[in-house]
Chains A and B, each alone.
Chain A
Amino acid sequence: KAGVTQTPRYLIKTRGQQVTLSCSPISGHRSVSWYQQTPGQGLQFLFEYFSETQRNKGNFPGRFSGRQFSNSRSEMNVSTLELGDSALYLCASSPERTDTQYFGPGTRLTVL
């Protein structure tokens, strides 16, 4: 099976812009989670989606949003970008929530 794919892999934006990141899970996986990774804060949970429903949301401002489509593909959106949003954004999929998570390669977002 193909692994989790994330697009784009690298992105440079300026403050105030918005960005949309995409994640395609492994075929058959219904759970998709998003994480933000920074050197200072480590891996922080953003959202979890299962069968198009958001089941959990991390402690991030409302500028961060996401959704999941009927084919399990997921997108996350960050509006009004801030310098502190520069990070590696990781998507992970799993058949069910408690299972092993399979991570994509990440999207490296740089906000200038």
Chain B
Amino acid sequence: SQQGEEDPQALSIQEGENATMNCSYKTSINNLQWYRQNSGRGLVHLILIRSNEREKHSGRLRVTLDTSKKSSSLLITASRAADTASYFCARNSGNTPLVFGKGTRLSVIA
């Protein structure tokens, strides 16, 4: 499959804890993007990391990229109930469409 693969498929944590989601892929990339989707709605872009970057931060989000291992991780610190959603990684390889993984379902329990 050309899709990225996220793990875990589902994650349940307490409010205030950190959540880490991982994404692996198989081919070379120009950039890797993370999106969030609240139940049954459109996706919201969270962060884009380019292939020559190793780490990026945005508020409580931290994304790392290891191109040698073809993997990325998304860390959400001090999680809140409002972070409950599905999180998807999507890889961009230039002349091909974005390829999305199957996502990680995150539940943050208050």
Binding site for B on A (CB under 8 A): 4, 33, 35, 42-43, 45, 48, 56, 58, 88, 90, 92, 97-98, 100-106, 108
Q: Is the CB of B97 within 8 A of A105?
A: no
Interface size class of B (residues with CB under 8 A): 20 to 34
Q: Are B88 and A105 in contact (CB under 8 A)?
A: no
Pairs across A and B, CB under 8 Å, 22 listed: A33-B97, A33-B98, A35-B100, A43-B88, A45-B97, A45-B98, A45-B99, A48-B97, A88-B40, A90-B42, A92-B43, A97-B95, A100-B33, A100-B45, A100-B48, A101-B45, A101-B98, A102-B45, A103-B43, A103-B44, A103-B45, A106-B41
Contact with A along B12-41 (1 / 0, CB 8 A): 000000000000000000110101000011
Q: Is B102 on the interface with A (CB-CB < 8 A)?
A: yes
B59 contacts chain A at the CB level, 8 A cutoff: no
Which chain B residues border A90 with CB–CB below 8 Å? Answer: 42-43
Given contacts A56-B96, A58-B97, A100-B45, contact A42 B40 (CB under 8 A): no
If over half of A's interface residues share one DSSP class (helix, strand or loop), that class is named, otherwise mixed; here it is strand
Q: From residue A7, how far is it (CB to closest CB) to chain B in Å? A: 13
Of all chain B residues, which has the CB nearest A43? B100
